Amino acid sequence: MNRRTTSALLALVAVPALLTGCETSSEDKGEGGAGPGAEAGSALAAVDTLTVKGRAPRTGYDRDRFGSAWADTDSNRCPTRDDILKRDLKDVRYQGGGCRVVSGKLAPDPYTGREVTFRRGRSQVDIDHLVALSDAWQKGAFRWEPSKRIAFANDPLNLLAVDAGTNRGKSDGDTATWLPPNKSYRCAYVAGQVAVKKKYGVWVTAAERDAMRNVLAKCPAEKLPSGGSPTKAPPRFRAP
């Protein structure tokens, strides 16, 4: 075998070794990511699909930008608020049919773990947006078409009946700044926020992403919720 042939053979042997050295293992990708403990279809795995960006200014935010409160976007002739009360309360009583909820119980309230009574007109129950409208505004919703903002504000996936006082303490906090006092509900709460942000393309800050990972790492099998309404409201609804 001559010198030229020998050199060619050595080069062919070296190529696979070079290619192998260039491969990136799954452990090297997404440093600080969810890691191997994240199951397919889990909320933890979904965290790493969210866009990470800084918070935009609150400039221009107004509740009216998300349409009139509790619009009947699913066209069932009941306001969205009553739909959620009907879904989340026990011992529900109605006025004049099966739509207007006048009383019931949160048993338990997911945010505190306590039983909370709902009575229309003097209620201790709020309907919370898991992802607050102001938070969404600062993380992408300022760019949306009005029909998407209206859908977001009335999507059952983003709504939960909760203790009023606790909800008002939350304000427009995200996972990095507020979690429910009821620790046993935190996995489900954060999974819900991840699901809403993924569905609507709302971004997260780096601190928020890390906080989501920290909570969900304790419950890696927590499933990502799904469902809710379409991401565009019917054309009859308007918002500025």
Q: What is the pLDDT of residues 170-222, one digit of tens each?
A: 999 999 999 999 999 999 999 999 999 999 999 999 999 999 999 999 999 99
pLDDT of residue 38: 77
The secondary element (H helix, E strand) that includes residue 197 is: helix 186-200
Q: What is the pLDDT of residues 85-128, one digit of tens each?
A: 999 999 999 998 899 999 999 999 999 999 999 999 988 999 99
Residue 9 has pLDDT above 60, yes or no: no
DSSP letter, residue 39? P
Query: From CA 135, how far away is CA 61, in angstroms rounded?
Result: 10
Contact 221, 44 (CB under 8 A): no
Q: What is the pLDDT of residues 10-57, one digit of tens each?
A: 333 333 333 333 232 223 333 456 655 678 889 999 999 999 999 999
Give the sheet arrangement for strand 90-95, strand by strand. Answer: 90-95, 100-106, 116-119
pLDDT of residue 229: 96
Which residue has tokens 């192998």? 20
Query: From CA 108, how far away is CA 125, in angstroms rounded?
Result: 12
pLDDT of residue 14: 37
pLDDT of residue 163: 98
Report the percent of the chain where pLDDT is more than 90.
81
Residue 155 has pLDDT above 60, yes or no: yes
pLDDT of residue 39: 81
E-strand stretches of 182-222: none
Residue 2 has pLDDT above 60, yes or no: no
Query: From CA 102, how far away is CA 104, in angstroms rounded?
Result: 7
Residues 6+ apart with CB under 8 A from 171: 132, 178
Which residue has tokens 């965290």? 47
What does the pLDDT average to over 58-79? 97
CA distances from 119 to 43, 85, 102, 125, 162 (A): 34, 11, 6, 8, 13
